[in-house]
Amino acid sequence: MSAPRRRRVMESSHEGPDERWMASYLDMITVMMCMFIVMFAMSNVDQEKFEQLRASLATGFGSEISETRDVSEGVVVPPELVEEEGEGFVATPTGPTPAEQEYSSLDDLRSRLEGALAERGLGEAATFTIDDRGLTIGLVSAETFFDTNSTDLSARARAVLDAAGSVLAADAHLISIEGHADARPAVAPFADNWELSTARANGVLGYLVDARGVARERISSVGYGSSRPLAEGSSAEALAQNRRVDIVVLSDADAQVRGELAGLAAADG
């Protein structure tokens, strides 16, 4: 009775190899095939359908589409730079640079000063220069503003200051009044040309403050003696041009901006 049972046990222990690994292998092959199909589909996506899907998903989640994709390069471009036709993008025009803004402000002041002088027939009585300091108004003409060794303003000088002073009083820039003398030695009551040129600058400063209403806290004066001549030589005309005062409207921009002003002035002609 016991012999047949042992035979069946022995027979069952000699069955074929275990093939359960095939199931795991087939699962792996299936997953890889699905992955390659998805990758192929993504490489051939219809851009129009993709955008529709993106818009639909954005709407469904309650958000707004904030940017448009350039399909040619895959570059994200803000919508305000995209043309209505959708062809590429157009750069937003940039505004003036800080240097251009400062130059425009000084040039506008120059135009107003020129206009005020022209109304009184004094258009040739002053020169205007814009550089890294600001706007320089040179009180120079064939007719002198000061007599030799004198700080008294001539009638022409007062007329020029009357015209320019009204414009300067309404402006907000700081002002430097810079006096100059010709190369001839100063005589009493002045010790030297430094003292003489400083007295001339102070005379112009006082006239602009007292007669034209320029704020005292905005204006200062300095004398350079004969160290910065405008005209060379000892002719009567050259000496008269060197007996002068410059009114410098100082730029309040930073050094980098001021460094560009002369170039902008040269380009403007």
Q: Encode pLDDT of 157-193 as tens digits.
A: 899 999 999 999 999 999 999 999 889 998 889 999 9
Residue 48 lies in a domain: no
Name the residue among 254, 5, 230, 226 with its Cα closest to residue 136: 230
Residue 24 lies in a domain: no
Residue 184 lies in a domain: yes
Residue 175 lies in a domain: yes
Question: Range of 111's domain?
Answer: 98-268
Cα–Cα dist 256/132, whole Å? 9
Find out whether 161 and 168 touch, Cβ atoms under 8 Å: no
Q: CATH number, domain at 218? A: 3.30.1330.60
| Backbone phi, psi, residue 204, to 5° | -65, -45
Residue 65 lies in a domain: no
The pTM of the full predicted model, rounded to 2 decimals, is: 0.64
Compute the radius of gyration of the chain from its Cα atoms: 43
Q: Encode pLDDT of 32-63 as tens digits.
A: 888 877 777 766 656 666 676 667 666 655 65
Question: Max CA-CA distance within the chain?
Answer: 155
Residue 195 lies in a domain: yes
Q: How many domains does the chain have?
A: 1
Cα–Cα dist 113/128, whole Å? 9
